[in-house]
Amino acid sequence: MPISQKSLHVMLHLFLVYISWGSTYIGYKFSLGVAGPFLVGGSRMVIGGILLALFLMLTGRWIRPERKDWIHATWMGVFMVLLASGFLAKGQESVASSTAAVITGSTPITMLVAGWLFANEPRPRLLQWTGLATGTCGLVLLAYSQQNVGGVQQSSISGMIWVFTATLGWVAGTLLTRRFPFKTRLSSLQSCALLIFMGGLECLVVAFLDGEHHGIRYENIHWPVVVAFAWMCTGGSVIAYACYFWLLENVPIATAISYELEISINTIKSYIRRHPSMKNASRCLYCGKVISQTKGRKVKKFCSDRCRSAYWNYKYRKGGNPIGKGRPQA
């Protein structure tokens, strides 16, 4: 059976996203031989943010950010770049790349508990607690197994703590985004460009305060290091984010979520089948919030009177299509 052109595009974008973000751990191992972790992570993010902004400008999708957009990108960058990327790089000074990848994979576990404790998410069920306990035991066993393999220390406990704190930073940023939705006229891709640029600057500030710029080892700069760092800036930032947001716009949401959480599409579809309220759900035309529809009743287009009023005010005041204008951006 022949594969359609769109299916090929989807597979190509998924492949590029997996390769781009998955190879970041290896890229850090090469780059950390030249400079400190916050200097490497900050430089990578700043360059990636500039390249992503240039890409948007060249394609005519850049609009001038407002002051509130810069402020939002600055404080969100603390959690989703300074902690998530800077602490990851710091941990990889004494942690194997494979170990860092496994610990980072605990993000869904951390998100489950943090969402219940701090974001009014539903309490995890017995099966979820079982999975949480299993995952925690796996991380503990990993920590002990990496302490001494063949007489050689593979990863340190302190390094693992740095990496795990990086996952906490990403989780905190995600929960804050949900708890305090931010309305902006910028696209998601441009919001990401601002986020990684400002977060990268914050990493550089920490690097200079820590004196990392005095410890640059220029003699360790070789072609493999240059190629690895260049790939982290382009692949780990520009290509990864561009492909990810293309997927969000062109494939079913289950496909995008399955990539982000690293679970299968069939798992998500099975969950929807076992939760009938999800089948009849739609999204608010203004803010994008999920609305549960009742069969046999009039279809709801807005989640609240506030969104309904904002939608029609926007439509008559500015003209054009206000759909999604109030949707929070990362």
pLDDT in tens, 179-236: 676 777 888 788 889 988 999 999 999 999 999 988 899 999 999 899 999 999 988 8
**Residue 29 near residue 274 (C-beta atoms within 8 A):** no
DSSP bridge pairs for 183: 328
Average pLDDT of span 322-327:
47
pLDDT in tens, 253-268: 444 444 444 445 455 4
Q: Where are the domains of the chain?
A: 5-274, 280-330
Under DSSP, the state recorded for 291 is E
pLDDT, position 129: 73
How far apart, in whole angstroms, are the C-alpha atoms of residue 330 and residue 144?
Answer: 36
- pLDDT of 325 > 60? The answer is no
**Residue 255 near residue 265 (C-beta atoms within 8 A):** yes
pLDDT, position 178: 66
How far apart, in whole angstroms, are the C-alpha atoms of residue 104 and residue 204?
Answer: 23
Q: Which two tokens stand for residue 310?
A: 């904002």
For the chain, the first-to-last Cα distance in angstroms comes to 39
pLDDT in tens, 72-100: 999 989 998 899 889 988 988 888 777 77
User: What does pTM read for this prediction?
Assistant: 0.65
